[in-house]
Amino acid sequence: MSYKINAMSKSDWDQVSNIYLEGIKTGIATFQSIIPTWEQWNSSHTSSCRLVAQLGDNILGWCALSPTSSRCVYEGVAEVSIYVSEKYKGQGIGTVLLTNLIKLSEENGFWTLHSGIVRENAASILLHKKCGFREIGIREKVAKMNNENWLDVILMERRSKIVGID
């Protein structure tokens, strides 16, 4: 499959939000229960690091960064969001997206990337490990999805080897 990695634009939102909804429906991809509006999503994510995997007019997956704090000392630290459409999982798209996001994040001065991944989301944990993230902790019973069972979150981190090393 010959897809391209492109910067996400507002015109991608319909497809991006549909992929996000697929993740919500799994019950292990996010604690978000509804799709935000473009305006809500746009204001909570960095403008510099948003990518889509695209085949023609079809978005196969997406990734983006959101700041972890508004304090200036954390300006180089961000949280990763990455989602691949159900019909394209297992084809390496997540690896390509995350690898490109890491490169783009370093070009934009980010030295640390974080991910909080529901323990049951083994595929996402493996993807992050494959791309150089390490497990740094567990938040036990941190939240419930749909008021059902408590879920643990695995905290993962990737520290740049080229930004913020001095």
Residue 100: pLDDT band by 50, 70, 90 thresholds? very high
Q: Return the structure tokens found at 75.
A: 């300006």
Reported as a single tens digit per residue, the pLDDT across 105-142 is: 999 999 999 999 999 999 999 999 999 999 999 998 88
Q: Are strands 112-118 and 77-84 parallel, antiparallel or unpaired?
A: parallel
Is residue 147's pLDDT more than 70? no
Q: What is the pairing mode between strands 150-159 and 112-118? A: antiparallel
Q: How far apart are CA 88 and CA 71, in angstroms?
A: 37
C-alpha distances (whole Å) from 34 to each of 18, 105, 138 are 11, 27, 25
117 against 166, higher pLDDT: 117
Q: Residue 14 and residue 20: Cα distance in Å, rounded?
A: 10
The residue among 117 and 33 whose pLDDT is bigger is: 117
Per-residue model confidence as pLDDT tens digits over 47-91: 999 999 999 999 999 999 999 878 877 788 999 999 999 999 999
Q: What is the pLDDT of residue 146?
A: 65
